[in-house]
Amino acid sequence: MKQLRALFAIIQMMITVGFIIILMMIFRSQNTKRKIRKNWAILQLKLQGASVEVVGKEDLDAGMIMMNHQSILDITTLEALSSLDLAWIAKKEIADIPFYGNILKVPNMIIVERESKTSLIKLLKDTKERLEDGRQIAIFPEGTRTDGKKIRKFKAGAKIIAQKHKLKVQPIVIIGSVSIWDSKKFKQTPGPIKVIYLDSIEAQKNTSWYEDSEELMRKTLEEELKDDKWKS
């Protein structure tokens, strides 16, 4: 049954993502593209039976949000919740997917070519442009997905970006999304997602703000996972 739900989820996502790509191509206003993405994300959560609990408050003054990563639903959830136009940092391999790569290109997300020697220079340039456009940078500092039970060591990218642009950064912890949509096990199960907005912090050089944020996110996740409702 879970596998059948997963198959349905993939089919409907391919259809609906294709539809919103076309809509964003037609309606070129960045504000309209944002509304299209937000409405799609809200619909996705309903279709996948996700109920979202929010703890804490979104910081509208933060230039960057950084989250733990366990499922594609992490992106969907933040797109549904956010009041701002998120500029996601994503790998080039996604952007290179025929037609569907436009989900990054059309709304002007930040595409990173990891093996390129000039990728950092381009990343800093692109993030600066998005910030100047009033968008909020969204990044997964772990750099890859996990099983939802731990937070991996943060990579340097988010730290470099935040310190270069002197950003206020809000850490966010997401729990439960992998239990709803697990692409590795090819399972889809309705259930709860919890999103915890932690206090924002200034990305100042010569401080341990990045390491402190990583540790706080790790401890928050570990404490939340003690609740029986997250045990399966």
What does the pLDDT average to over 99-123?
91
- pLDDT band at 2, cuts 50/70/90? confident
**Mean per-residue pLDDT of the chain:** 95
What distance, in Å, lies between the first and last C-alpha atoms of the chain? 17
In the structure encoding, which two tokens stand for residue 88, read together? 């996601």
Residue 215 has pLDDT above 70, yes or no: yes
Considering 1-5, 32-36, 178-182, the range whose residues carry the highest mean pLDDT is 32-36
CB 137 within 8 A of CB 130: yes
State the SS3 of the chain. Answer: CHHHHHHHHHHHHHHHHHHHHHHHHHCCCHHHHHHHHHHHHHHHHHHCCEEEEEECCCCCCCCEEEECCCCCHHHHHHHHHCCCCEEEEEEHHHHCCCCCCHHHHCCCCEEECCCCCCHHHHHHHHHHHHHHCCCEEEECCCCCCCCCCCCCCCCCHHHHHHHHCCCEEEEEEEECHHHHEECCCCEECCEEEEEEECCCEECCCCCCHHHHHHHHHHHHHHHHCCCHHHCC
Whole-structure pTM over 0.85, yes or no? yes
Query: Which residues, other chains included, contact 211 with Cβ-Cβ below 8 Å and sequence gap of 6+?
Result: none
Tally of residues, the chain: 232
Instruction: Give the pLDDT confidence score for residue 135 in this predicted structure.
Output: 98
Query: Which residues, other chains included, contact 206 with Cβ-Cβ below 8 Å and sequence gap of 6+?
Result: none
Using CB atoms within 10 A of its CB, is residue 132 exposed (0-12), middle (13-18) or buried (19+)?
A: exposed
Whole-angstrom distance, CA of residue 152 vs CA of residue 132: 31
Instruction: Give the pLDDT confidence score for residue 231 in this predicted structure.
Output: 75
Whole-angstrom distance, CA of residue 180 vs CA of residue 12: 15
Residue 43 has pLDDT above 70, yes or no: yes
- pLDDT band at 232, cuts 50/70/90? low
Residue 229 has pLDDT above 90, yes or no: no
Closest of 229, 191, 216 to residue 56, by C-alpha? 216
> Could you count the other beta carbons within 10 Å of the beta carbon of residue 177?
28
